[in-house]
Chain A
Amino acid sequence: MTTSSPVIQAKNVWKIFGPSPEKYLSGMTPGRSFDDIRADGYIAGVRDVSIEVARGEMLVIMGLSGSGKSTLVRCFSRLHDITGGTIEVDGQDIMSMNERELIDMRRNKMGMVFQSFGLLPHRTVLDNVAFPLEMRGQDKHARRERALEVIELVGLNGREDYFPRELSGGQQQRVGIARSLAIEPDIWFLDEPFSALDPLIRREMQDEFLRLQEMLGKTIVFITHDFDEALRLADRIAIMKDGAVEQCDTPDKIVMNPATEYVAKFTEEIDKARVVHARGLATPLNGAAIEGAAIDGNATIHELARILVNDTREILPVADKQGEIMGVMQRQAALDVLLGGA
């Protein structure tokens, strides 16, 4: 397994809800829009999506309510059988897996946090968190220990013996998070995992997932409605509309070069200077002469504001993480981003 091969590779994935979706899809003329499909009495949950998720990447999926985010993620974990296309996880076509293989994959590779938690109502916090371990057949003591560990991590210690209905919404959500943390999966599907958390805990949880991703190289597919959260976490952002992925790119590119009208509208309200990094604006040297000190490519334009305003050079050299010059940036372009001009 080389790191370059994607963990999840989806090709032309369709998920259509309705009476006989396979038949409908095979007989459908290409290029039918979401509304056309609805007029035919079907709902296109996912519409011709091709996407790859690299190992160790954090992919954030955004989009309006009902745009198919949850559905897409459910296709990745085969909670939904897809109607068309292929999905490969670690190079294996998940639609061709038999029940045993599917169970093994879910037990060992995948974890998921559900939008509305999906806690088992008859089990205590501890038993809910230990549930995946129990299903794997771990012995009682080991799973208890591990469960207590992650319960502590999400800050629920002292409530191990509570039942879900005895907890607040945010606490329930943390149980769901703890449950998915318990087995430390390679691939994580997080469906609005922090929506019910207060800002403080939310930030803590974000840090925790960032840490896990960086330290253990986990692959994470993350759904959120919160752009700030997306920016904080994302390597790439995919923006969905009516079941289709409109654009999937780094945050810088999404903001700077929206592929469609819709994406442009979606990112309209965002302060671009906080999103765009110097490296994002850098163009190759092409032998141009550089003068003076280089600026940090990993800084956002907002962070560089003072320099940009005070500096008089027209062209600024940009350095990468290691301090080597990776390109140059037009000061005017940066100022445009900063001041919202042009």
Chain B
Amino acid sequence: MASVSTDTPNKQHGQVSKRTVLWTLLGAAALIILARAFGVLPEWLHRIPEGAIPPTAQVLDGIFSFIQNDLGLIYVTRFIAEGPLEFLLDTSANLLEGKRRWPNIGPIPWASVAGVAAVVGYALGGWKLAALGAGTFLWTALIGQWKMAMQTMSVLVVAAPLAFAVGIGLGILAWKYRWVERALKPMLSVLQTLPFFTYLLPAVIFFKVGPTAGAVATIIFAVPPMILMTTLGLKKVSPEVVEAGKMSGCSRWQMLRHVYVPAARTEILVGVNQVIMLCLAMVVLTAFIGMPGLGAKLLAMMGSFKLGRSFEIGVTIVLLAVTLDRMSKAWVVKQPEHFDRGTPWWKRNHLALLALGIFVGFILLAQVFPILSTIGRKQHFSQGKEIDVLIKSFLAMDGIRGVTEWLRWFLNVKVLIPFRNTLLAVPTPAFILCVVAFSYWLGGRRSAIYAAVFFTIVAFSGWWDRSVITLYTVISAVVLSMMIGIPLGVVAARSEKWSNRILLACDTAQTFPSFIYLIPAIMLFGVNDVAVVFSILIFATVPLTRYTIEGLRTVPPEMTEAADMSGASRKQKLMSVQLPLALPTMAVGFNQAIMFAFFMVIIAAFIGTQDLGQELQRTLAGTELGKNFVLGMNVSLMALTFDMAITSWAERRKRALGLA
């Protein structure tokens, strides 16, 4: 191997230069590949032999069943599931969708919900949000999806507050006690890269199927950002405010309750926004473990290729997401305003009174006009079939069909399949060496070591080929989305107006539950590999575009002015001033794109792929907890490898450019 590393003179005092290491790694990889090509590579160096793979899944299964049965954890969890949690879920289900449970009041008429949504919207952000709130629920009711939507919402209204409570509690503990923070931190970063499927199965096993498991998985999924935001907010409270509290003689509890938490309001509310959005995303996904609701319906519709209905449900989900997001964001920026002195009580609370009035009013009206309560099967305005026909005939038009089919053929035959086969042909050690070299080049030594460890674990997990296919899907999709997202961002960043428009579009798109991205993919390409890559591509383009614009916009004006004064052309300015300075920010987008891609690849497995996602979905049907964990861990480890390398690069770059 020494023959490959040409610049040995760089070895000074035991310090090996970066170039040398890189070439050594790549050279070693090349040697192994060549050996394979000439057929001299022993089989055990190509793929790790079955015999050498430790029975991780079985061991994990053993551990789980020990915890579950011998330690009796299952009784605890089942108690929670059948006790308090189920009680809450039943109550909300009764109120919202009219499930026959205590308190047997529901369902609340849709008109009441829409009315209250309008008032809440108005209180938070004026007429626009009022219209959005009312419009969303009006649409849901009129299109005949009220019950489904409420099935989803009834889990959401239980899971989100619980996730908030758990998150803020843990956040406070982490802020107060260093050891809690130190214990939580690595767990949170793993949790955030863990594919959502890994949350689902344990939930199913420990908390029975249905809403309870769905709620538990949702809560765990949504808690991490709440913890992080709480800790962040509490740490940021200005020291003088804290001292003012101390000098006022606050006890510890008073300090927390009256000083810290209110002063950290903004961050905590940002956390609330994230909790709500993650809960919605997850509740939709719990369709995979048989949770009824919008997600389940969408899954069924897409599965039977009913594009019109899928489209309508997609719109509902998007509207719900946008409404919840806008309202909770408006709450973040809304600051209390004072009333004039002597304002009477009813005037101070007029919006709350109005909401109550509307709520009760519509309940009463609904007794007379049942249509205000539930819109029946024959009454709604769903145009599912018509849209279906429309879409299908549109896609069948020669021009369109020609393009999509050509694209499908081109991507499949010319790009995806050759790329996949190449990756699969690479011997495992060579593959790992390449990844390590990449991490080393980008992130430095630490990242390289992690990459080596993580990918070796993946290699020994017994799911190497499927992991490589997962990686192949991710890489292809991210590369394609870079080709679209970055130029789009660069063009948009030229004008303030377009930057803002595109940023708004990206912001909105990011709030959609990931399921939504499957709809256009299936519409255009049907159920196959290309559709998977396409859906990931759209999903991953969003952060890329967004951070490209933001990166370019944050380039200090004096630097672009300096370039202008040196007589740089637009292109020169872009290439030699703006892009280099924007790169660290763009790297954040790139990182997010990869994370999103890993996330999406698993969801897209629903369309039918051969990667880890497929296997993961299969585990949900059974009770193979160990295997589920191993698969989830593989995805998580691969994602973490990239995350670390890119983050470390971006941070170093920022510091070097003085942007940090």
Cross-chain contact B249 with A118 (CB below 8 angstroms)? no
Q: Is A243 an interface residue (CB 8 A)?
A: no
A160-B341, A161-B341, A165-B335 given; A120·B258 CB < 8 A: yes
Roughly how many angstroms separate A192 CA and B336 CA in the complex, as a whole number? 29
- Cβ contact of A103, chosen from B240, B251, B335, B338, cutoff 8 A: B251
Interface pick from A87-95, A129-137, A218-226, A334-342? A129-137
* Contact pattern, A 85-115, Cβ under 8 Å of B = 1, otherwise 0: 0000000000000010001101110111011
Chain B contacts for A161, CB-based, 8 A = 338-341
The answer, among A110, A162, A165, A166, for a CB contact under 8 Å with B247, is: A110
Structural contact, A132 and B248, CB atoms closer than 8 A: yes
Q: Are A79 and B247 in contact (CB under 8 A)?
A: yes
The interface stretch among B218-226, B259-267, B528-536, B603-611 is B259-267
CB within 8 Å of A: which of B309-343? 335-341
* Residue B243 interfacial (CB < 8 Å): yes
Contact A120 B262 (CB under 8 A): yes
Q: Are A121 and B247 in contact (CB under 8 A)?
A: no
Q: Does B250 contact A (CB under 8 A)?
A: yes
Enumerate A145-162 residues with CB–CB distance to B below 8 Å.
158, 160-162
**Which chain B residues numbered 219 to 259 have a C-beta less than 8 Å away from chain A?**
238, 240-241, 243-252, 254, 258-259
Residue A5 lies at the interface, judged by CB distance under 8 Å to chain B: no
Question: Given the complex, which residues of B lie within 8 Å of A110, measured CB to CB?
Answer: 247
CB pair B341 A136 closer than 8 Å:
no
Asked whether any CB of chain B lies closer than 8 Å to the CB of A124, the reply is yes
Kindly list chain B residues whose C-beta atoms are within 8 Å of the C-beta of A104: 249
Residues of B within 8 A of A107 (CB): 248-249
Q: Which of B238, B243, B336 contacts A163 (CB 8 A)?
A: B336
The number of chain A residues with a CB under 8 A from chain B is: 37
Known: A106-B249, A107-B249, A136-B249. A120 touches B341 (CB 8 A): no
Q: A residues within 8 A CB of B263? A: 120-122
Q: Which of B250, B262, B337 lies in contact with A135, CB distance below 8 A?
A: B250
Q: A122 — which chain B residues lie within 8 A by C-beta?
A: 262-263, 265, 336
* Residues in B neighbouring A166, C-beta threshold 8 A: 337-338
Tell me whether A118 and B338 are in contact (CB under 8 A): no
The one of A108, A118, A135, A162 that contacts B240, using a Cβ cutoff of 8 Å = A118
B248 touches A135 (CB 8 A): yes
Whether the Cβ atoms of A115 and B244 lie closer than 8 Å is no
A119 at the interface (CB under 8 A from B): yes
Which residues of A are found within 8 Å of B241, using beta-carbon distances?
A: 118-121
Partner of A132, one of B240, B243, B249, B251: B249
Q: How far is the CB of A166 from chain B (nearest CB, A)?
A: 7
Which residues of chain B have C-beta atoms less than 8 A from A106's C-beta? 246-249
Chain A residues, Cβ within 8 Å of B246:
79, 106
Indicate whether A116 reaches chain B with its CB closer than 8 angstroms.
Answer: yes
Residues of B within 8 A of A120 (CB): 241, 244-245, 258-259, 262-263
- Cα–Cα distance between A123 and B263 once the two chains are bound (Å): 10
**Number of interchain pairs (Cβ within 8 Å):** 82
- A122–B338 Cα distance when bound, in Å, is 11
Name the B residues within 8 Å of A103 (CB-CB): 249-251
Chain A neighbourhood of B244, CB < 8 A: 112, 114, 118-120, 176, 179
Bound-state Cα–Cα, A99 to B250, Å: 10
A74 within 8 A of B: yes
Q: Tell me if B265 and A135 are in contact (CB < 8 A).
A: no
- Chain B's interface size range is 20 to 34
Cα distance, A116 to B244, chains bound together (Å): 10
Measured between beta carbons, the chain B residues less than 8 angstroms from A165 are 335
In this assembly, does A117 line the interface, its C-beta being within 8 Å of a C-beta of chain B? yes
Most chain A beta-carbon neighbours within 10 Å: one of B241, B247, B337, B340: B247
Could you tell me the distance between the alpha carbons of A112 and B240 in the complex, rounded to whole angstroms? 11
Complex alpha-carbon distance, A95 and B274, angstroms: 44
Interface flag for A77 (CB, 8 Å) = yes
Complex contacts, A115 vs chain B, CB 8 Å? 240
Is the CB–CB distance between B338 and A162 below 8 Å? yes
Shortest CB-to-CB span from B194 to chain A, Å, is 36
A117: nearest residue on chain B (CB-CB)?
A: B240
B238 touches A118 (CB 8 A): yes
Contact present for B338 and A114 (CB under 8 Å): no
Beta-carbon contact of A111 and B338 below 8 Å = no
A163 touches B248 (CB 8 A): no
Bound-state Cα–Cα, A108 to B249, Å? 8
- Whether A131 pairs with B243 at a CB distance below 8 angstroms is no
Interface residues of B in 329-380 (CB under 8 A from A): 335-341
CB proximity of A45 to chain B, nearest CB, Å: 14
Q: In the complex, what distance in Å separates the CA atom of A114 from the CA atom of B251?
A: 20
B249 CB contacts on chain A under 8 angstroms: 103-104, 106-108, 132, 135-136
* Bound: A131/B241 CA distance, A: 12
Closest chain B residue to A185, Cβ basis:
B247
Residues of A within 8 A of B250 (CB): 103, 135
Tell me the bound Cα distance from A111 to B258 in angstroms: 18
CA distance A135 to B254 in the complex (A): 7
- Assembled-state Cα–Cα distance A119/B240 (Å): 8
Report A7 CB to chain B, min CB distance, Å: 17
B-chain residues with CB within 8 Å of residue A131 when the two chains form the complex: 248, 258
* Docked pose: A188 CA to B259 CA in angstroms: 22
By a CB distance below 8 angstroms, the chain B residues around A116 are 238, 240
Using CB atoms, name the residue of chain A closest to B261: A122
> Which residues of A have CB within 8 Å of B248?
106-107, 131-132, 135, 179
B247 to chain A: which residues have CB within 8 Å?
77, 79, 106, 110-112, 132
Given the interface pairs A106-B249, A135-B249, A135-B254, the reply to whether A74 lies near B338 with Cβ below 8 Å is no
Among A108, A114, A124, the residue within 8 A (CB) of B243 is: A114
Q: Binary interface profile of A, 202-223, with partner B (CB < 8 Å = 1, else 0)?
A: 0000000000000000000000
Distance of A203 Cα from B240 Cα, bound (Å): 26
Contact call A114/B258, Cβ cutoff below 8 A: no
Which residues of A lie under 8 Å from residue B238 when comparing CB positions? 116, 118
Closest residue of chain B to A115 (Cβ to Cβ) is B240
Contact yes or no, A163 B254, CB < 8 A: no
Inter-chain CA distance A114–B238, complex, in Å, is: 12
Question: Cα distance A201–B601 when bound, in Å?
Answer: 67
Distance of A161 Cα from B337 Cα, bound (Å): 9
A48–B340 alpha-carbon span in the complex (Å): 52
Chain A nearest CB from B264 CB (Å) reads 10
Q: How far is the CB of B261 from chain A (nearest CB, A)?
A: 9
CB pair A79–B243 under 8 Å, yes or no, is: yes
Hey, which chain B residues are within 8 Å of A158, CB to CB?
341
Complex Cα spacing A108 to B248, Å = 9
* Contact string against A for B residues 565-594, beta-carbon threshold 8 Å, 1 for contact and 0 otherwise: 000000000000000000000000000000
A134 to B245, CA, bound (A): 11
Q: Mark B37-62, 1 if CB is under 8 A from A, else 0.
A: 00000000000000000000000000
For window 54-106 of A, CB contacts with B under 8 Å fall at 74, 77, 79, 99, 103-104, 106
State the CA gap A114–B239 with chains docked (Å): 11
How does the 8 Å CB contact mask read for B388-399 relative to A, with 1 for contact and 0 for none?
000000000000
Nearest opposing residue in chain B for A132, CB measure: B248
* CB < 8 Å neighbour of A118 from B243, B254, B337: B243
CB distance from B236 to the nearest CB of A (A): 12
Name B244's closest neighbour in chain A (CB-CB): A118
| Known contacts A121-B262, A132-B248, A166-B337, then 5 further A-B pairs from the complex at CB < 8 Å, ordered by chain A residue | A79-B247, A106-B247, A114-B244, A135-B248, A161-B338
A-B contact pairs, 22 of them (CB 8 A): A108-B249, A116-B238, A117-B240, A118-B238, A118-B241, A119-B244, A120-B262, A122-B262, A122-B336, A132-B247, A132-B248, A135-B248, A135-B258, A158-B341, A161-B339, A161-B341, A162-B338, A163-B336, A163-B337, A163-B338, A166-B338, A179-B244
Interface residues of A (CB under 8 A from B): 74, 77, 79, 99, 103-104, 106-108, 110-112, 114-124, 131-132, 134-136, 158, 160-163, 165-166, 176, 179
Could you tell me which B residues sit within 8 Å of A by CB distance? 238, 240-241, 243-252, 254, 258-259, 262-263, 265, 335-341
A-B pairs with lowest CB-CB distance, top 6: A107-B249, A118-B244, A118-B240, A132-B248, A161-B338, A122-B262
